[in-house]
Amino acid sequence: MTYVANASGGPLRVFYSTDRMTLEEIEIVYGISAGGSLFSVSTETRMRMKRDTRIRYIRIPTWDFGKILGEGNIYVTVCVEYCSNCGDYGMISENFFIPSDRSFIVARNHNIKFQKYAANIWEDEGGYNHWK
């Protein structure tokens, strides 16, 4: 079992798979605006989540934790949610390798830290407690 503690300051989505994964697709948005005698054309590049039902995820609220059951070695892609119902997110880590039965913490600075064995879920291998 793998525990994931969320000390990032925002809600997380943790996608996990036994294989490496690709979750995003690039979307180019073109915009045109006109106002009076001013006319402008703009482009914006966004990464949007690509739905793949074979890739599972857990959503972890701020200052909470989640469990990933019985998968063995896994790859995780961790995203912080900016808007839970519009799919807007920022990727923290992509295809980060987690050995079997290792738990980890997503820290406030968005680093991923392995949890110290036989310690509080919020304590990393260096002995730092990430709880508030």
The domain containing residue 101 runs over which residues? 2-23+54-114
pLDDT in tens, 86-127: 566 788 888 999 999 899 999 999 999 999 999 999 999 999
Domain-located, residue 85: yes
pLDDT level of residue 12 (50, 70, 90 thresholds): very high
Residue 56: predicted pLDDT: 86
Report the domain count for the chain: 1
Residue 3: predicted pLDDT: 95
Q: Which is nearest to 26 in space by CA: 91, 104, 115, 92?
A: 91
Domain-located, residue 70: yes
pLDDT in tens, 17-75: 888 877 655 555 666 666 666 656 665 655 555 666 667 889 999 999 999 987 789 99
Q: Which long-range contacts (CB under 8 A, 24 or more apart) does 90-94 make?
A: 91/24, 91/47, 92/8, 92/12, 94/23
Domain-located, residue 62: yes
Domain-located, residue 83: yes
